[in-house]
Amino acid sequence: MKALFNKLLYSQNNMYKNIAKSFIKLITKRKEALSTAVEKPSNKFMEEYLYPLIGIYAVVLFIGKYFDLREFNIQEMLRHTLAQITSLILSFYLISVALCTLSKKYYQTEISLKKMQIFIGYILSVDIIVNIVLEFSLPQIFYALSLYMIVLVWEAPGIFLNLKEEKRVIAGVSAIAVFYILKTVITSIINRLIL
């Protein structure tokens, strides 16, 4: 039993180390990170990077709401966490589908939904990390980190869609617009429904 527990603990530690390494690589060597992401199996990316990161984010949201309220109000804490996680997951899937459809229709490039989800997952991971940092009332200057998502959305069409320079500009601008419009609309709808 102890050996099984130690094995589970070791695998969990490795998972968190891999998440940290992947995120640091995305910030410091984004072209290399995005290029290796194209070759990754999507289920491995989801299970080893995105889902655990969403789980960490849910725990941070729950605890962060406790510090905001300064009292243990389980209903408010759960509603806040549910609203944020639901809007994040809905944004993830709807933006992936929208950009997949856009790339097939307007750029005549075939990209699978699974590969698009890896791309969107990496972008949303930046948003998740920024929100984790901000949840504990650190300086608002950290909002500037979320601008890095624009850099990723701008650069990714060349890597994920193999677009030439002239099409990449249009694809980058439209991807940024789709990303931010859908994310804002979904977040506001979910907040109205749940909060």
Across the chain, where does the E strand assignment appear? none
What does the pLDDT read at residue 67?
83
Residue-level pLDDT at 176: 82
pLDDT number for residue 175: 82
pLDDT at 142: 65
Domain ranges for the chain, please list them.
2-194
CB 188 within 8 A of CB 87: no
| Contact indicator for 142, 125 with CB cutoff of 8 Å | no
**Please, are residues 141 and 68 in contact by the beta-carbon 8 Å criterion?**
no
How many whole angstroms separate alpha carbon 159 and alpha carbon 142? 27
pLDDT one-digit tens code per residue, 104-125: 887 777 788 888 898 888 888 8
pLDDT in tens, the chain (195 residues): 566 555 655 666 677 888 888 888 888 888 888 888 777 788 888 888 899 999 999 999 999 888 888 888 899 999 999 999 999 999 999 999 998 898 888 777 778 888 889 888 888 888 888 888 777 666 666 667 777 777 887 777 777 777 777 777 788 888 888 888 999 999 999 999 987
Q: Quote the pLDDT of residue 7.
A: 61
Distant-in-sequence contacts of 6-13, Cβ < 8 A, 24+ apart: none
pLDDT for the residue numbered 192:
92
